[in-house]
Structure 1
């Protein structure tokens, strides 16, 4: 599967056509057309320059001063056109690659966030590692390298056509030898080195991403690691990741630099001397001018390296093929038809929970399982939550309390039964550790709204309600950007999350131990404001004090059983 074969080209086209057959295809083909014209002009000028170089040597050998200076002038005039043409070609190529990367990145990001694919990738246990690296690095490499290889192939074809005519006029034997030599070298390279190098490059991309992700995890969890004094374990883990990276790269350089390098250097050395050997008898006999040796050598080299494109660029081609494989599997997962096949492997019996949006919150005969369908958490639960009431979910750790909230949110659909709920934009979920965005304090408070119309005075009043009266002044106002997950304590973060409820005013609030870091007084204050807004809410928690603020209790047991009761009837 990972070998260098025709399947790579099918995967390449599956990704490439997103751009070339997409909404920006007109602009893409215009830029590609400009590149084609520049390439034709550049190739023709290369032929003229090669001929001029041969003429320079011939005029010097003939000691023809007048013709020599005419040839120098012709050479300089060609160069005046050649240099800006080459610069324009490079600029247009980079510009097209940049636009292509932008569109392809936007396409992947749209699919990544559609239907919460980013979350499904994390919980469905699908073997697609490091999606961040695939979006950032693999797309960059794909757009730059694929365009480069495309233009190199086109350029090679043009140069073969242009310089073969020159070479044929000098020696037909050179052309025949060249074709046979290039074909044999290509077959040896792809057959002996292809599959091995693609596999090693694929593994290297994966191991580099794993090592980088391990470093990011240490940075993001530095405080927890420090509290646990887990430095030695984390260092050993990173050392192990780097050892895997090191060993794979060691194998890669042995195959790539040593074995392949020996073959390529030997293979590409001989063409430098062959033209002189073949043409020498004709020059020595006087049939050809001395400059024809230089002209034949230049033309032979151009044709040879054009035909030899796979051998000469095989190292970068194998890396490129490995990147295509990684990007292709990611694209398959993000495509609805392909994703369905992948998820069917996880859920062969196609058991899913029905989610029905009808403006109320109720559960009917719900049996909830883990995303991989390995464990059943709750069986045959049914309940109805009236508008303006509060439901408290309690039970031992691991019995499925938070998982039930994930099912209500539509994050988990593993199991059977039905969940009735309002539209998600009428609900706000508060996890135990709130998500703190990188942005201003204002953006933090109105999240997940994009542009909530609310004055700073109103924001200050809401901060007072959640017992954070000096938060804005402490950090310099509502427009200051901070890493709020680092500068705020967990208790402050939980109060900021409650402020979001008061600002966004959802009809339903889902609280997963959302007051676990608060004292009893702050907890009472927050729930009091929640009750005053007539918000319907569900809370998960262990504290007995939470019973005070709820009207219904769902008690879940370890044996998958459950019991629903009013708070007054609960034990």
Structure 2
């Protein structure tokens, strides 16, 4: 017991003597309640008093910095813990079992705004409502002039001549306003970069002091300074981690802003994702591999720009701080020599820097080509298997892979000589010059005074050497950033090209890639922002579908001078517009959803392949332009028109319910008051209710699968009719919608459309469908067409010819029966 009390007494005396040795503070006679207040007051007085001992003042600064960072860490942790506690109390997460119910994730409002519902907790029942303002199309219309082509100037080895202009434009998307959160993240990052440099100065001085203590044999001071070393290590580590976190967070925020900006133009009501194929720069690798550009290039660009900012800001700050401090030790001559060395090194490295921007851009294009071809293999596996095309596909994939490897190796190959030069100059030459500059004050002092104070000279040399090495490291990182900037130029150019094309396509003045001048028929490089190529008029809200003098022309760079399929097309469905719209879908209740809504009119469009039948549907859907000035297209509202393409589309990773109600989302389906029993009734109408037997009743509606592979061709086409029955549009356009369906089912589905009195247009090559339609539009294939009422004598004659053809086939029934009997006998003998 006596030994234990003696040890405790020694420890107490040591702790009381430590503040005196470290800070010159005598704590004897100070009560424990006033201890912390006394220490903090003494630390503050040491920092503010310029006459206090230098050693004590430095130690006081280290202790206060450590305490400040510790308090900030503890305070942020406590605040976060209180926030989580209040959130759990508010949502009732404690002591409550999770409730399983449907929750809306996102709802699109009529004005284009989005409402998102974000859960407070994984098992929480309540949701936080987040309102996202509608996107402003006027902003994109205004911004498109910023993304015009900046000109073809010869790129330098360091920058593209247009690099800074491109970056300044893209920066408006990354940091849209001065008060944006990304601005604050940049400010915090700069603060921590300055803090890291400042702490580096402390570490350098403390390093020299520790070496001095060791050389002079002062063990007590060595232990005190070593304790200060461990104290300063905490804020230094905290600062380094904060810089890395802020850099990553800033990169993610930049990616969010840029991706949302791209998505708002690429995926909107103007169908930019479709019209990109008609842009006059569609041959660009950026647009040809736009999926790779939106995913990989955006990520690489955001990572690169944040990395370059940190790699430039940190060395610049280090150069300023270390140069100011070293000027007092090395003098003006030493600092001038250091910066002359930097300029010479920068010139040499710039002179021998390879064109990494171009090489990186080519490598990204090769990656996109390789990725896209694999995606094509995935989407067409069955067709390739039927053709046994493995050998051809392997050859193509290997060629793309070899080209990708060639581009990737080319980047590394051109770096070899540059890396040799860079390492020799930055690592070894600068280190040798650092020793020279660090020895200047010692040599000058010793030569002028004739006295060699080894302890002081050792401390000064260690401090100057450490700062010189840090200064050399800052300069080397600044020189290394030349290579990073060269790579950033490649990513910037690809992102700028992507945004420029998206703005051009998203514009209301988009002319589908036409690049001719109407006066002299010469290519105009900037004609993509003119409206001269597309002159037709579109009337929306019409109670029908009407074509007036429309030339059906394939969109191309030749505009209205391109390939014409149909000349001056004119028709109208219904022949007399319906004037009474009181029974529109928006005004009928759910019990009347499947009731007939007025008379139906129908038209059949016939013609050979390539005659322009599907092109008529594209014009109706407003995804192809009207070139002639006197052409007029009148279409109903978007809710009253439903276009069915040749290939039925099925959303990837969606439920069976999602496939039926497409393009409506499940959230909108439930919010509008729809029930699953409506879908079951519709499946029964189109003879697909047997699919529900594959699961446990209606639960099959929640099944998730790759439905384009699960359903057969006929089932996929009948799903289109199920969508028609669900959405109940007043006008439907069907393009080869029954070519994979048996004749009896085809007859049933067309009679179903007539029974519910839909107005529909059918595009087909089979005259046998005439019996389901009121009008027939015959496309001859040489720009001519003929519209006839199927109740006229001419139409009756056409039908009679079809009947005669069918009768001729019926006469051969007996012969076919005999052949069938003979084949059956042969099989019996086998």
Task: Verify same fold: TM over 0.5.
Answer: yes
Q: Pick closer, same or farther for the CA change 1:124–1:407 going to 2, 3 Å.
A: farther
**Cα distance between partner residues in 2 of 1:222 and 1:558:** 34
RMSD (CA atoms): 2.3
Supply the distance in 2 between the matched residues of 1:310 and 1:83 (Cα, whole angstroms).
23
Following the alignment from structure 2 to structure 1, what is the Cα–Cα distance between the partners of residues 613 and 737? 13
Residue 334 of structure 1, CA deviation:
1.9
Q: Flag as ranges the 4+ runs of structure 1 deviating above 6 A.
A: none
Q: Distance in 2 between matches of 1:155 and 1:389?
A: 73
- 1:123 shift after superposition: 3.4
**Larger gyration radius, structure 1 or structure 2:** 2
Partner of 1:437: 651
The structure that is helix-richer by fraction is 1
Residues in 2 aligned to 1:25 and 1:105: alpha-carbon distance in whole angstroms: 20
1:219-261 per-residue CA deviation (whole Å, 9 max, x = no partner) reads 01111111122222222221221222122223211112x1221
Does the CA contact (< 8 Å) of 1:356 and 1:420 recur in 2?
A: yes
- In structure 1, C-alpha distance between the alignment counterparts of 2:257 and 2:194, rounded to whole Å: 28
- Asked whether 1:234 is paired with 2:448, we answer no
Match of 1:525 in 2: 748
1:402 paired residue number:
614
Cα deviation code 1:288-336 (max 9, x no counterpart): 6223333223322333333444531344332222111110011112225
SS at match of 2:624: coil
Q: Distance in 1 between matches of 2:768 and 2:179?
A: 62
Q: Equivalent residue for 1:378?
A: 566
Q: What SS does structure 2 have at the residue aligned with 1:171?
A: helix
Alpha-carbon distance in 1 for matches of 2:478, 2:729: 60
Q: Please state if 1:554 is matched with 2:777.
A: yes
Cα distance 1:249–1:143, how it changes in 2: closer, same or farther (>3 A)?
closer
Q: d(CA) in 1 for partners of 2:255 and 2:234?
A: 33
| Cα deviation, residue 84, structure 1 | 1.9
C-alpha distance in 1 between matches for 2:693 and 2:510: 53
Instruction: Tell me if structure 1 keeps the 8 A contact 2:311–2:481.
Output: no
Alignment of 1:165-176 (within 5 A): 165-172=324-331, 173-176=333-336
Q: Deviations over 1:413-462 (max 9, x none)?
A: 15322211112232111111111002111111011112224322221111
1:365 is matched with: 549
Q: What displacement does 1:545 show? A: 2.3
Cα distance in 1 between the residues matched to 2:387 and 2:674: 42
CA distance, structure 2, for counterparts of residue 38 and residue 532 of structure 1: 73
After TM superposition, the structure 1 stretch with the greater mean CA deviation from structure 2, 561-570 or 342-351, is 342-351
> Using the alignment, how far apart are the partners of 1:42 and 1:280 within structure 2?
26
Conserved 8 A contact 1:305-1:312: no
Q: Quick one: distance in 1 between partners of 2:179 and 2:290?
A: 26
1:117 shift after superposition = 1.0
Corresponding position of 2:185:
31
How many residues get paired?
A: 568
CA shift in 2, pair 1:345/1:296, >3 Å: farther
Among candidates 410, 423, 427, match of residue 265 of structure 1? 423
How far residue 129 of structure 1 moved from its aligned partner, in angstroms, is: 2.5
Match among 380, 388, 392 for residue 604 of structure 2: 392
Q: What is the alpha-carbon distance in structure 2 between the residues aligned to residue 220 and residue 211 of structure 1?
A: 15
The residue matched to 2:700 in structure 1 has which SS?
coil
Which stretch of the first structure deviates more once superposed, 337-346 or 168-177?
Answer: 337-346
Tell me: CA distance 1:325–1:53, structure 2 relative to 1, closer, same or farther (3 Å). same
Q: Matched residues in 2 for 1:191 and 1:367: separation?
A: 58
Unaligned stretches of 5+ residues in structure 1: none
Say whether the 8 Å CA contact 1:367–1:378 is kept in structure 2.
yes
1:246 alignment partner in structure 2: 405
Partner residue, 1:295? 463
Give 1:496 shift.
Answer: 0.8
Per mean C-alpha deviation after superposition, the further-off stretch among 213-222 and 339-348 is 339-348
* Equivalent residue, structure 2, for 1:412: 624
Cα-to-partner distance string for 1:361-398 (whole Å, 9 max, x where unaligned)? 11011112111143111111111111621111111111
- 2:694 is the counterpart of 1:468: no
**Runs of 5+ consecutive residues of structure 2 not aligned to the other structure:** 1-152, 447-451, 519-531, 579-599, 799-830
Report the Cα distance in structure 1 between the residues aligned to 2:244 and 2:440, rounded to whole angstroms. Answer: 41
Q: What residue in structure 1 maps to residue 486 of structure 2?
A: 318
* TM-score (ref. length: structure 1): 0.94
Query: Structure 2: how far apart are the matches of 1:472 and 1:278?
Result: 84
